[in-house]
Amino acid sequence: MASLPSLALSGSVPKLDDYLRKLSNNPLPFEKDLSNQHSSREPETSSRTSPQPIDFKQALQLLQEGTEFNSTIYAPLLRQCIEPKSLSSAKAIHSHTIRTGCCSDPYVATAIVNAYTKCGATYHAQQVFDEMSVRNVTTWTALISGYVRNSDPQNAVKMFIKMLESGWEPVCFTFWAVLNACCDLYNLKLGEQIHAYIIKSGVSSIVAMGGSLSNMYSKCGNLESAIKSFECSEYKDVVTWTAVISACADSGRSQLGLRLFIDMLHENIWPTRVTLTSVASLFCASQDLQLGPTKQYHAFSIKCGGESVFQVRNCLMYMYLKCGAIEDATRLIDNMTSFNIVTINALIAGLSKMMGSGKDGTDLSSTKVEALKVFKRLKRSFTKPDMFTFSSVLNACTGLMALECGTQIHAQMLKSGVLSDAVSCTSLVNMYGKCGNIEDAKKAFSEMQARTAVSWSTMIAAYSQNGRYKEAIELFEEMLAAGVKPTLVSFISVLSACSYACLVDKAYYYFNLMKDHYGIEPDTGHYACMVDMFVRLGRITDAFEFIERENFEPNEIIWCILIAGCRSHGNTSLAFYTADRLLALKPKTMETYILLLNMYKSAERWEDVSRVRTIIKEENIPYIRDGSWISIKDKVKYFVASDRSHSENDEIFVFLEDLIEKAKGIGYEPYKAIHASDGEEEKKETRLVRHHSEKLAVAFGLINASCREPIRVIKNISMCKDCHSLLKLISVLTDREIIVRDSKRFHKFKEGECSCGDFGVST
Ligand SMILES: [Zn+2]
Ligand SMILES: [Zn+2]
């Protein structure tokens, strides 16, 4: 965002900062008195309305009494009908003109057409127009503009074509009207034809028409032409500036849009609420948005009265969330006089989607916890949550595996009657599925009144993740039988079920069905499922052959699956070859490097160890601290390895050590580092693994959760072998179901087994 122009405030008047001063040699705007700058438009001058010698009511009375007047009386009287939109008065005057025969005067008839359209009576206007024996260009223009004003662009265009056919030359006002009709119709082709016609009618018109043309191109989505017309436009008002700025936002050209906004300020054009909204969405779309410019824009929009505009406020909220400034985002709703559900939804959705601000991987849950807090505040207010609120807050629960909280929200949804909505119900199925509560997921799915392809995919994924492969495949078949077109995601779910269940033929069948019958090109997700399946079966050569045959370039995840497979099936030479291919990709995550380091260490290939370390340094790979969190009742606890920061420390460690001792009795062999470079490091690593975060979180859960309730833990990186084997035994020792969702897989430990089939845990 370094090159992004930023706005600074000084004193009571917004000023552009030094950076912007460098951008332009012109004197900076908004340094003068603000009072006369609130509108760029010329004020309406009194000369526009003709002096009225006669009182309107009196004149109307006289007309109704049959008094004869000169025809010049009608136009000013008709103009007076416009402001109060008095159709009855316009009709009375019209009748009088018929009686006096003045309606045959084109000047009077045009005034009638104009008054009727401005009173919303285009039908009457058209009638008068049709009856006119002599028309002029003003009459045509009045009718065309009238149609545009009354949201009937089709008829405006129709009349415009008739006008040309009758041999009339349009004037600027006619072009303005018909270009607006093109905007309303989003008809770029017609707009271009009119542009060509304007060119034919003379260059001076182009200059005058620049703003309208730019508007038309902006609204019809042709940014390039919009900018061209804009640049050669003589008169640019705030509407034109705003149209071209928002066209930049629509085309994702944030930098250009912001530069234009700055130019607009230089021209002393004061932004309207619409401009502020467009600029806010430009900021939102910026790739590298930073907190500084966000805060400056916030302050600037307060000065312009934009904070009260909910679109601006929503954008500001997204901007803050994007910068990770949660406090600033939530503060926006603190200042709200009344809760607006759209803003609250924006906040909850933003927070639920965010992955925390901890750079080392810690505290990933904090934003989701914040989303739940905002939802609680909403419950205390008089604002009712809607289906979007429920959907977003359920996503936060899913992210935290906060089943209890999710169940409460389900109850609230029942009360609010939003259960007919497919999106929020799908979030419900997802929440139950990802919390490992497959029965409730199934129930929520079966009770859905309307299902989308996403709902089906979500339920298939839920079965697949929870180790219910047969049901996953059956449901997929049911989906096809119901005539629902499967999506890319549904195929990933069914392929992963086949992969877990090692059903090679079925997997191939679905893989080909996807490509040949549904025309969906496989992506890395589908390839990963297939490779994963071969590796599980120990068919490493088949996995490589599949890659060769399908002719795709494996990504980091697929190479990691292959390396893990090669190692667990004792094919070290192939593992080293694969590792070289992976390293050539310059992997992005620390987990991948740890996998490689462990592999090289255990093979005592110290040169490779230092090679990997160098790449980590060169690529500036952030270190991820081992972290897990557990949600019990409405509290979320976060643990790191060997974490002693909790008040229940002693109890947790004593309980865990006791479990470790008992587990040893039934075959557990605690991890002992033997490949570390020195003795001290060895001890440290052994200690860390012994108290990895998920072990502590599970111990905490076993102490605090109500008995029989499964323990649900989320981990930020993949589980290690040691934790995996210990948790399997703990599930036996405590007769409890333990669910761990790590960065790569879903592990459901029950009676000494894990749903993942012991596959894919890092070594
Ligand atoms: Zn571990
Ligand atoms: Zn597992």
Query: In this structure, which ligand is nearest to the CA of 750?
Result: 2
Q: Which residues contact 719 (CB under 8 A, 6 or more apart)?
A: 694, 727, 740, 742, 745, 747, 761, 762
**Spacing, Cα 714 to ligand 1 middle (Å):** 13
Structure confidence at residue 29 (pLDDT): 35
Query: In this structure, which ligand is nearest to the CA of 694?
Result: 1
**Spacing, Cα 723 to ligand 2 middle (Å):** 10
Report the residue count for the chain: 763
**Spacing, Cα 715 to ligand 2 middle (Å):** 12
**Spacing, Cα 589 to ligand 2 middle (Å):** 21
How big is the CA angle at 760 (ends 590 and 724), to the nearest 5 degrees? Answer: 95
Query: In this structure, which ligand is nearest to the CA of 744?
Result: 2
Query: In this structure, which ligand is nearest to the CA of 723?
Result: 1
Query: In this structure, which ligand is nearest to the CA of 721?
Result: 1
**Spacing, Cα 749 to ligand 2 middle (Å):** 7
Residue that has been written with the tokens 């949804």 in this structure: 413
Query: In this structure, which ligand is nearest to the CA of 746?
Result: 2
**Spacing, Cα 153 to ligand 2 middle (Å):** 63
Query: In this structure, which ligand is nearest to the CA of 628?
Result: 1
Measure the CA–CA gap between 147 and 441, rounded to whole angstroms: 54
Q: Return the amino acid letter for 303.
A: K
**Spacing, Cα 624 to ligand 1 middle (Å):** 14
Measure the CA–CA gap between 455 and 461, rounded to whole angstroms: 10
Structure confidence at residue 642 (pLDDT): 87
**Spacing, Cα 726 to ligand 1 middle (Å):** 9
**Spacing, Cα 694 to ligand 2 middle (Å):** 13
Query: In this structure, which ligand is nearest to the CA of 753?
Result: 2
Query: In this structure, which ligand is nearest to the CA of 670?
Result: 1
**Spacing, Cα 100 to ligand 1 middle (Å):** 98
**Spacing, Cα 721 to ligand 1 middle (Å):** 6
Measure the CA–CA gap between 708 and 700, rounded to whole angstroms: 15
Both tokens assigned to 545: 């052959």
**Spacing, Cα 761 to ligand 2 middle (Å):** 7
**Spacing, Cα 763 to ligand 2 middle (Å):** 13
**Spacing, Cα 718 to ligand 2 middle (Å):** 10
Cβ neighbourhood burial of 666 (10 Å; 0-12, 13-18, 19+): exposed
Nearest alpha-carbon partner for 431 in 457, 460, 453, 400:
400
Query: In this structure, which ligand is nearest to the CA of 754?
Result: 2
**Spacing, Cα 729 to ligand 2 middle (Å):** 12
**Spacing, Cα 540 to ligand 2 middle (Å):** 21
**Spacing, Cα 753 to ligand 2 middle (Å):** 8
**Spacing, Cα 734 to ligand 2 middle (Å):** 18
**Spacing, Cα 556 to ligand 1 middle (Å):** 22
Query: In this structure, which ligand is nearest to the CA of 757?
Result: 2
**Spacing, Cα 256 to ligand 1 middle (Å):** 49
Structure confidence at residue 361 (pLDDT): 44
Measure the CA–CA gap between 173 and 178, rounded to whole angstroms: 9
Nearest alpha-carbon partner for 469 in 757, 133, 91:
757
**Spacing, Cα 88 to ligand 2 middle (Å):** 79
Query: In this structure, which ligand is nearest to the CA of 692?
Result: 1
Query: In this structure, which ligand is nearest to the CA of 627?
Result: 1
Q: Which residues contact 306 (CB under 8 A, 6 or more apart)?
A: 271, 273, 276, 277, 280, 312
**Spacing, Cα 644 to ligand 1 middle (Å):** 17
Structure confidence at residue 263 (pLDDT): 92
Distance in angstroms between the alpha carbons of the first and the last residue of the chain: 41
What are the mean pLDDT values of the chain's consecutive 10-residue runs (763 residues total)? 31 32 34 33 35 64 72 86 89 88 89 94 94 92 95 95 92 91 93 89 72 88 90 85 89 89 91 90 82 88 81 84 84 73 86 62 72 87 88 92 93 88 93 94 94 94 92 96 94 94 95 95 95 93 94 92 89 91 90 90 90 92 87 87 87 95 93 68 80 95 89 91 94 95 90 84 62
Say what the pTM is: 0.70
Structure confidence at residue 356 (pLDDT): 52
Query: In this structure, which ligand is nearest to the CA of 759?
Result: 2
Phi then psi for 447, rounded to 5 degrees?
Answer: -85, -5
Query: In this structure, which ligand is nearest to the CA of 755?
Result: 2
Query: In this structure, which ligand is nearest to the CA of 731?
Result: 2
**Spacing, Cα 456 to ligand 1 middle (Å):** 34
**Spacing, Cα 760 to ligand 1 middle (Å):** 13
Query: In this structure, which ligand is nearest to the CA of 688?
Result: 1
**Spacing, Cα 538 to ligand 2 middle (Å):** 17
**Spacing, Cα 536 to ligand 2 middle (Å):** 13
Protein residues near ligand 1, an ion, with CB under 5 A: 692, 720, 723
**Spacing, Cα 692 to ligand 1 middle (Å):** 5
**Spacing, Cα 724 to ligand 2 middle (Å):** 6
- Report yes or no: 615 and 583 within 8 Å, Cβ to Cβ: yes
**Spacing, Cα 738 to ligand 1 middle (Å):** 15
- What is the 8-class DSSP label of residue 71? G
Count of Cβ atoms closer than 10 Å to residue 499 Cβ:
26
Q: Where are the domains of the chain?
A: 52-244, 627-754
Structure confidence at residue 315 (pLDDT): 84
**Spacing, Cα 471 to ligand 1 middle (Å):** 31
CATH superfamily of domain region 52-244 = Tetratricopeptide repeat domain (1.25.40.10)
- Report yes or no: 40 and 238 within 8 Å, Cβ to Cβ: yes
Q: Return the amino acid letter for 762.
A: S
**Spacing, Cα 372 to ligand 1 middle (Å):** 29
**Spacing, Cα 663 to ligand 1 middle (Å):** 15
Count of Cβ atoms closer than 10 Å to residue 130 Cβ:
9
Structure confidence at residue 339 (pLDDT): 66
Query: In this structure, which ligand is nearest to the CA of 594?
Result: 1
**Spacing, Cα 758 to ligand 2 middle (Å):** 5
**Spacing, Cα 562 to ligand 1 middle (Å):** 21
**Spacing, Cα 572 to ligand 2 middle (Å):** 23
Measure the CA–CA gap between 628 and 616, rounded to whole angstroms: 24
**Spacing, Cα 702 to ligand 2 middle (Å):** 19
Query: In this structure, which ligand is nearest to the CA of 695?
Result: 1
**Spacing, Cα 670 to ligand 2 middle (Å):** 17
**Spacing, Cα 720 to ligand 1 middle (Å):** 4
